[in-house]
Amino acid sequence: MPESVSETRLLDNLWDEAEAGRLAPQPLELLRYRSNLLGADLRITNFGGGNTSSKFTLPDPLTGDPVRVLAVKGSGGDLRSIAASGFAILALDKLEALIARYRGEAHEDEMVAFYPLCAFGDNRVAASIDTPLHAFLPFDHVDHLHPDWAIAIAASANGRRALDEFNARYGRRIAWLPWQRPGFELALMLRRAVDAQPDCDGIVLGSHGLFTWGTTQAECYRNSIRTIDQMGQLVGERARRRGGASFGGAAVRAPRQADEVVAAILPHLRGAVSSNRRVVAHVERGEEALRFANSAWAADLCALGTSCPDHFLRTRISPLFVPWNPDADDGAALRRRIDDRIAAYRRDYVAYYEGFATPGSPPLRDSNPSVVVIPSIGVVGFGKDKREARITTEFFVNAIHVMDGATALEDESSAEAPGGSRRPEQAAQFASFHNYVALPRAEAFRIEYWALEEAKLQRTAAEKEFSRKLTGRARRRRRPECGGG
């Protein structure tokens, strides 16, 4: 792949050759630099999402002999803020040796216990579930990202056909891989996909995200932003060709005194979703959030749920949609509807858990929604503190972008079975709405209550003293984004 890259139209190429040259003698710092650039734009990947890696040679700390290693973002890291100390470093020959120990998909979780044994030197950064996905690809530098435009293709009923159109239009060779839960099995599927198409320059993972790579750090970065930018161009063009408003157009208009309505209803909403433990709220009332919340399709899309695993680990399997028309109902009617809808959501969530849980599953977590969508009010996210609530809301705005892109890609081929581009044994489980495909509940449960995800949650820092509480200042100001009570 040539070093040069055509000018991007939607994304900024932030690569600074002078800065990269200064860091070049330190490959880990150059990987950190590349990662920070990619993480700086939420259109490229969301908070804590995605992985970057590099393969290079380091001297063995005991013998001095050269050892080929993999440096990959550690579990729970964030690309935008990660430092060199946040990367797990593992010996590649040991990771390769794990393939012979693999007993098949039914036993893939046991492979994670071997990753610490592959650590290089004194590096003790927890290796993520995605480690083998990077290790087994035959490229020196790999990016695994969750760009909204790429997921729009990945979460489309006609996703494979849309990818064919993308490749033809831009002269690309991006391969398609059907949905598979992240883990050791997916790592081997990625390797086989490259072996079958050795000239490919990236892979779209169905319902998940994007893999891109390069022979140098700069080439990898440029390939990633070029690919994402071109996918954005395709989705944008299809949206313009569609014409009209997104999500079937507006069904509800926002009231004139919107801020007063939000301030009046938010304390009640926050209390209603705090039945198990207190939460803090963040309200998103930007153009994109309100366009979705007020739209004709919002209820159906919310019920279908999200697609990318990185999204629903924050937003749960689906947000709660609370119908409301301020022209027809007053605030008292909305409060009653909130109570009814949240009670139903809790019942449905418990049924979802009980329907898929096994004796070894982690215990049921909070059954309340983490995202609530209300026409004329917008998108409300909840978390243990203001920061987490804001991040949760950001994730659902990313999900809105994905749904908007997938519905824009709708065409005559979208009427095909939504599982047509998925693995045959799973195809019937997928459902779609106007070309957007969400993960089936069974697959969602396998990730949300995955023992490996539970272990990652257990590694998070203990909550601070005033977590889940509002300060006196926040109470006095009564700002809509802080909640009340």
Residue 309 forms part of a structural domain? yes
Residue at token pair 């932030």: 14
Q: How many CB atoms lie within 10 A of CB 434?
A: 18
Residues 233 and 263 in one domain: no
Residues 186 and 327 in one domain: no
Q: Among residues 208, 242, 276, which one ends one of the domains?
A: 242
Residues 320 and 450 in one domain: yes
Residues 167 and 224 in one domain: yes
Picking from 118, 59, 63, 55, the residue whose alpha carbon sits closest to that of residue 90 is 118
Question: In terms of C-beta density within 10 A (0-12 exposed, 13-18 middle, 19 or more buried), how is residue 271 classed?
Answer: middle
Two structure tokens written together for 21? 């040259």
Q: Among residues 211, 242, 273, which one ends one of the domains?
A: 242
Q: How far apart are CA 134 and CA 55, in angstroms?
A: 9
Angle subtended at Cα 44 by Cα 70 and Cα 54, rounded to the nearest 5 degrees: 10
Two structure tokens written together for 67? 């050892």
How much is the pLDDT for 199?
96
Picking from 229, 176, 227, 151, the residue whose alpha carbon sits closest to that of residue 404 is 151
Each residue of 129-145: b (16+ CB within 10 Å) or e? bbbbbbbbbebbbbbbb
In the chain the first and final C-alpha atoms are separated, in Å, by 57
Picking from 461, 462, 481, 309, the residue whose alpha carbon sits closest to that of residue 395 is 309
How much is the pLDDT for 485?
33
Three-class SS string for 427-472?
A: HHHCEEECCEEECCHHHHHHHHCCHHHHHHHHCCCCCCCCCCCCCH
Handedness of CA 25, 29, 32, 38 (dihedral sign): negative
Each residue of 362-383: b (16+ CB within 10 Å) or e? beeebbbbbbbbbbbbbbbbbb
Picking from 273, 308, 276, 261, the residue whose alpha carbon sits closest to that of residue 45 is 308
Handedness of CA 259, 403, 444, 205 (dihedral sign): negative
Residues 236 and 280 in one domain: no
Residue 147 forms part of a structural domain? yes
Picking from 64, 133, 126, the residue whose alpha carbon sits closest to that of residue 98 is 133
Question: In terms of C-beta density within 10 A (0-12 exposed, 13-18 middle, 19 or more buried), how is residue 103 classed?
Answer: exposed
Residues 133 and 206 in one domain: yes
How much is the pLDDT for 429?
82
Judge whether 394 and 481 are in contact, CB under 8 Å.
no
H helix intervals, 294-385:
298-304, 309-315, 331-356
Residue 222 forms part of a structural domain? yes
Residue 11 forms part of a structural domain? no
How far, CA to CA in Å, does 370 sit from each of 354, 393, 396? 19, 9, 10
How much is the pLDDT for 474?
47
Q: How many domains would you assign to the chain?
A: 2
Q: What is the pLDDT along the chain (485 residues), one digit of tens a residue?
A: 333 445 799 999 999 999 999 999 999 999 999 999 999 998 998 887 899 999 999 999 999 999 999 999 999 899 999 999 999 999 999 999 999 999 999 999 999 999 999 999 999 999 999 999 999 999 999 999 999 999 999 999 999 999 999 999 999 999 999 999 999 999 999 999 999 999 999 999 999 999 999 999 999 999 999 999 999 999 999 999 988 789 999 999 876 677 888 899 999 999 999 998 899 999 999 999 999 999 999 999 999 998 887 777 778 889 999 999 988 888 899 999 999 999 999 999 999 999 999 998 999 989 999 999 999 999 999 999 999 999 999 999 999 999 999 999 998 776 654 554 566 777 778 889 999 999 899 988 988 888 766 666 555 666 665 565 665 544 444 444 443 33
How much is the pLDDT for 310?
75
Residue at token pair 């046991």: 110
Residue 332 forms part of a structural domain? yes
User: Residue type at 325?
Assistant: N
Residues 237 and 268 in one domain: no
Two structure tokens written together for 473? 């200042």
Residue 347 forms part of a structural domain? yes
Residues 233 and 284 in one domain: no
Residues 193 and 339 in one domain: no
Residue 424 forms part of a structural domain? yes
Residues 222 and 348 in one domain: no
Residue 147 sits in which domain range?
17-242
DSSP letter for 255, please.
P
Q: Among residues 180, 212, 242, which one ends one of the domains?
A: 242
Q: How far apart are CA 305 and CA 434, in angstroms?
A: 14
CATH number, domain containing residue 309: 3.40.225
Q: How far apart are CA 202 and CA 375, in angstroms?
A: 39
Q: How far apart are CA 47 and CA 90, in angstroms?
A: 24
Residue 1 forms part of a structural domain? no
Residues 217 and 94 in one domain: yes
Whole-prediction pTM value? 0.91
Coil, strand or helix: which one is 66? Answer: strand
Residues 47 and 74 in one domain: yes
CATH number, domain containing residue 203: 3.40.225.10
Coil, strand or helix: which one is 154? Answer: helix
User: Residue type at 402?
Assistant: V
Two structure tokens written together for 398? 């990313």
Strand partners, 72: 53, 88
